[in-house]
């Protein structure tokens, strides 16, 4: 399965059905009167966050979504059927933007959240609706209102507790493969990882999600290499694990290069708690290891962890440090009620409850 984290989609809600102009005509009823029914309401376009998806690849093959129109009203006071809704199923963590790609419509961060992207048009009134004591035979009806149409952008930001950052070949994929069941591609050349990978790590019977993104190089914020387009997938993490390979000639410079790219990207990535680790230490002797550890400590201002995914040295300590920060951040977050998303005069909660629903008639 290919990884796709951005997609452009065209949506259109259904038009409302027209009201009917009809009069009751029966043999033994002299004054039958109007009996034209109302038109049905057009279908809505919804988006829903579901479990089991981690890519927007489905929207590569289908970019147009249209709800059905409402059925026209008919005689004998028969109201037209409402149009069927259309639901776009997206991974948890998907953001919906307007066509300008800057105005956010909604951010679906929890499973089961739903949001109405386009309301269907209201059905028109039939002539029976306009009957009054002074106008007992109206011969007109309302047409149905048109639905909404727009182009939107879907942007996926993966939900993870901790994110791995570093230069290419810093050992991020190897780290992920050694502590989780994820099986990312691992090879001895730059940019082996071409898309983010997720894995569930376990330490002391506690689980948390790790996200591995492609490596950053100098100038990534200007589009050099793969660029910084995947940094959005670590925006939601609670802590960053910055890996610096012990095979780098200047580990301090390698650390500062990635740190500069994170600062250039912005979005408060540099404000997140950071754990620094010197990886691939199995290739060094003790003298060289001490030298590079001190150099990295001067660059980052803290004592880095020393880890080797091959021998397992220091891996448990790093996982515990990540776990402690994640647990601390989770404890600071106050339990909140399921978020409610507002669209015009309709409020749709995570449980799918509707409040102050819009009137079905214009």
Q: Binding-site residues, please? A: 166-173, 191-195, 212-215, 279-282, 308-310
R_g over Cα of the chain: 29
The Cα–Cα gap between 140 and 351 comes to: 41
Binding site for GTP, residues?
Answer: 166-173, 191-195, 212-215, 279-282, 308-310
User: Cα 112 vs. chain centroid, distance in angstroms?
Assistant: 12
Inter-residue contact 153 to 101 (CB < 8 Å): yes
Two tokens, residue 149:
């149409």
The SS3 assignment for 166 reads coil
The SS3 assignment for 293 reads helix
User: Cα 12 vs. chain centroid, distance in angstroms?
Assistant: 21
Question: DSSP characters for 300-357?
Answer: HTSPPEE--TTT-TTHHHHHHHHHHHHHHHHHHSPP-PPPEEEETTEEEETT--EESP
Binding site for Mg(2+), residues?
Answer: 173, 193
Residue 234 DSSP symbol: G
Q: Residue 70's closest CA among 160, 129, 142, 176? A: 142
The Cα–Cα gap between 111 and 213 comes to: 23
């Amino acid at each position: 399965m290919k990884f796709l984290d951005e997609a452009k989609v065209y949506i259109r809600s259904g038009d409302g059905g027209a009201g009917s102009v009809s009069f009751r005509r029966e043999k033994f009823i002299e004054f039958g009167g109007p009996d034209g029914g109302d038109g049905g309401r057009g279908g809505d376009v919804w988006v829903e966050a579901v479990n089991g998806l981690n890519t927007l690849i489905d929207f590569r093959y289908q970019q147009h979504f249209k709800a059905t129109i409402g059925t026209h009203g008919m005689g004998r006071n028969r109201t037209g059927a409402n149009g069927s809704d259309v639901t776009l199923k997206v991974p948890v963590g998907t953001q919906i933007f307007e066509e300008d790609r800057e105005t956010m419509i909604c951010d679906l961060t929890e499973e089961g959240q739903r949001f109405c992207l386009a309301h269907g048009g209201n059905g028109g009134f039939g002539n029976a609706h306009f009957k009054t004591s002074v106008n007992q035979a109206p011969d007109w009806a309302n047409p149905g209102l048109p639905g909404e149409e727009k182009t939107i952008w879907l942007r996926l930001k993966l939900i993870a507790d901790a994110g791995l950052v570093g230069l290419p070949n810093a050992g991020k994929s190897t780290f992920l493969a050694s502590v989780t069941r994820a099986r990312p591609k691992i090879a001895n050349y730059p940019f082996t990882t071409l898309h983010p990978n997720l894995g569930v790590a376990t330490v002391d019977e506690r689980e948390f999600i790790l996200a591995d993104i492609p490596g950053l190089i100098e100038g990534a914020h200007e589009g050099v290499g793969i660029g910084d387009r995947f940094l959005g997938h670590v925006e939601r993490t609670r802590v960053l694990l910055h890996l610096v390979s012990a095979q780098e000639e200047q580990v301090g410079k390698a650390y500062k290069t990635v740190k500069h790219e994170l600062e250039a990207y912005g979005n408060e990535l540099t404000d997140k708690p950071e754990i620094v680790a010197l990886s691939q230490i199995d290739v060094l002797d003790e003298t060289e290891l001490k030298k590079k550890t001190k150099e990295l400590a001067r660059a980052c201002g803290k004592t880095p962890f020393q880890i080797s995914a091959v021998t397992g040295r220091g891996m448990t300590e790093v996982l515990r440090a990540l776990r402690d920060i994640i647990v601390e951040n989770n404890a600071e977050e106050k339990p909140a009620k399921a978020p409610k998303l507002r669209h015009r005069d309709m409020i749709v909660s995570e449980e799918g409850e509707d409040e102050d629903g819009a009137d079905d008639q214009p």
